[in-house]
Amino acid sequence: MFAPPSGEGPRLPPYYWGLWGLALAAAFAPLAAAPFVYDDLHFLIRAPELTGPWPGLGAFFGATFGGGELEPLPRLLHWAMYRVAGEEAAWYRVSSLLLHAAVSVLLYAVGRPALGPRAAFWAAVLFSLFPAHVETLALSTFKKHILVAAAGLLMVLAARRPGPGGTAAACALYGAGLLCKESALILPALLFLAETASPATRPGPRRLARYAALGAVAAAYVAWRLLVAPRVVAPPAGGTLASHALTSAKLWLWYLPRFGWPFDSCLEHSVRPAGSGPGAWLWPALAAAAVLGGRLLWRRDLPAGAFAAWAGLGLLPFINLLPFLNFSLVADRYLYLASAGFWLGALRVARGAVDRGSRASVAALLLVALTYAGCVLRHATVFGDPMALRQRTAACAPENPRARGALGAGWLELGRLDAAREELEAAHRLAPDYDEATIGLATVYAKSGRVPEAIGLLERLRVEHPRALGNLAVMYQAVGKTQAARRAAQRAVELAPWDRRLRLVLGGTLSGLGRVDEAAAHLRAAAEDPELAARALTTLGDGAAGRGRLDEAAALYEEALAREPLAFAAVKGLAAARRRQGRPELAARALDDFAARLDKAAAEAPWAAPALTGLREALRRERKL
């Protein structure tokens, strides 16, 4: 039977909220001290459209990233945050925690009519401390899941307002959610379930008009997604449509037990596509049984059944119905919005005991909350050591190409080429179409002197990646394919004109072809980036020297040295230009100044002295000229 909800009730004491806030802050505190890791490295601090100058709205609303993602609002938020916080990871984590706390309060507001204040409060508490949410808060790139949840819960609250104002607000919030992540397409279905769970909601013409308006927003988004920023669709999981459908059922069932047992948290998991043999049909049979159980709950207690349906439907965007996620079929972060429905349903079922405030019910809820908080604290601590996190991820998901690829990228950053090659080759073997692993493996091969093999890998990529094209251009230059290098660099800049590293590569290739005037514009643009300025100015100086403009070349080399005092290519060019001017004393002075800067650097940072040995040897050879 549909038991009447508690509805309005006595207000909770303020200290409830204070204690909850302290528990939430304490549990997630280790994340504030952790550096950027994993996707934040690729899609945030190393994304030129976010960390560089304003790239134009087209870089956010008309271009995808990371294999087809279109998330303009989170990326605009990160562009703005970078202007304020730079590379201070703590600010990004604190902002995620504050958003997460706001979502938890919104969940309380959404659940209160059906659960009453006490049960709704505990639903919000257990949702906020759910261990599976650690990775959602640990990576600012995953803030999109929090923003979609916030938009969805605000939609529910806006729809409770009578009149066209509520419909307009719900449509605006729906549009905002879609601009955060395409999984927001599911929000009208969750709104329907939330309204079904509320006794105050009754069907009528205005409600139908609201859903028609939401449908129009969804249609406009889908049209824009198809025509303006299409996404590459991956092959079906398992190779056939039948195995793909079975895999979707398998993934849905993988998530359901994690609502009740979320303790084996890991950034990746080794879940493979379902086979097509007789045993594979167990997955849809179990899924049908789960749906039947939800249906029985619906008939017994309508709000509890509606919230259970919320939990099940909230997973639909993440079970690979559309083949986008084949490199990582499941992830804890995809439980975020669905788990809100789970906790509303669970506390609706337990509402009677919670409303009575019995010691047993309070003790049980406290025990769950404290257990969750301990798990969150333990898992959050792992993010403080990026390599330990990557090794742990690869250990718990050895068959996941993203896990192996991320570990390989970590070894590559540390200069451990053999270890990097082993992991990246494993990732490439597990998923030959995983472009990030392919690009990393090509870099390892190039650094190991296996340039032709690296070129072969990059030439076989199925999607044009600006960074890969830039790497390819550099490799083409290394083997003397200058025209191919120019074409690759030009295409890279066409795809990402805001990326100054690519402008530097194109400028270098054009300069090497003698097209100095064309190169100058790209090199000047690259020189606006402080990290690239010395290299860009040195290349400009080389072009000027090649045309006999020695005074101009010397000025450019000196400017490069002012930006980066230990830029050996710049001092080498400067010394050569001074010799060609017939002023060897100025060449000697430039080299002496460089030697003094080397000595100063070694004295200020003794640990860096071994790294300066190569520069000293190069300087010694230059002085003999």
pLDDT tens, residue by residue, 510-552: 988 888 888 999 999 999 888 899 999 999 999 899 889 999 9
DSSP line for 68-92:
TB--HHHHHHHHHHHHHHTT-HHHH
Label residue 173 exposed, middle or buried (CB < 10 Å: 0-12, 13-18, 19+). Answer: buried
Which of 279-293, 294-308, 470-484 is least confident? 279-293
Model confidence at 4: pLDDT above 60: no
Label residue 583 exposed, middle or buried (CB < 10 Å: 0-12, 13-18, 19+). Answer: middle
Domain boundaries, the chain: 27-228+241-264+284-382, 530-625
The reported pLDDT for the residue numbered 422 is: 96
Q: What angle do CA 332, 336, 337 make, to 5 degrees?
A: 145
Q: How far is CA 316 from CA 35, 187, 189, 319, 337, in A?
A: 32, 11, 11, 6, 11
Neighbours of 619 (CB within 10 A): 19
Q: Per CATH, the architecture of 530-625 is what?
A: Alpha Horseshoe (1.25)
**Eight-state DSSP code of residue 43:** I
Neighbours of 39 (CB within 10 A): 17
Closest among 561, 466, 491, 546 to 514, alpha carbons compared: 546
The reported pLDDT for the residue numbered 442 is: 94
Model confidence at 2: pLDDT above 70: no
Q: What angle do CA 496, 498, 499 make, to 5 degrees?
A: 75
Helices 14-28 and 89-115 sit at what angle, rounded to 10 degrees?
140
**Eight-state DSSP code of residue 462:** S
* Cα–Cα distance for residue pair 528/309, rounded to 1 Å: 53
Residue pLDDT, tens place only, 435-475: 889 999 999 999 999 999 999 999 988 778 888 999 999 99
Q: What share of the chain is helix, strand, coil (3-state, %, to 5)?
A: 75, 0, 25
The reported pLDDT for the residue numbered 554 is: 92
Question: Could you tell me if 554 and 578 are in contact, meaning their C-beta atoms sit under 8 angstroms apart?
Answer: yes
Closest among 111, 170, 332, 139 to 178, alpha carbons compared: 170
**pLDDT band (50, 70, 90) for residue 325:** low
Q: Could you identify the residue written with the tokens 């990030």?
A: 436
* Cα–Cα distance for residue pair 113/589, rounded to 1 Å: 80
Neighbours of 366 (CB within 10 A): 12
Closest among 124, 99, 127, 96 to 31, alpha carbons compared: 96
228 by DSSP, 3-state: which? coil
Q: pTM of the prediction?
A: 0.86
Mean pLDDT value across the chain: 89
**Between 608 and 68, residue with greater pLDDT:** 68
Radius of gyration of the chain (CA): 29
* Cα–Cα distance for residue pair 570/527, rounded to 1 Å: 14
The reported pLDDT for the residue numbered 401 is: 92
1 by DSSP, 3-state: which? coil
Q: Could you identify the residue written with the tokens 């550096």?
A: 35
The reported pLDDT for the residue numbered 243 is: 86
Closest among 400, 279, 257 to 338, alpha carbons compared: 257
Which of 353-362, 363-372, 389-398 is least confident? 353-362
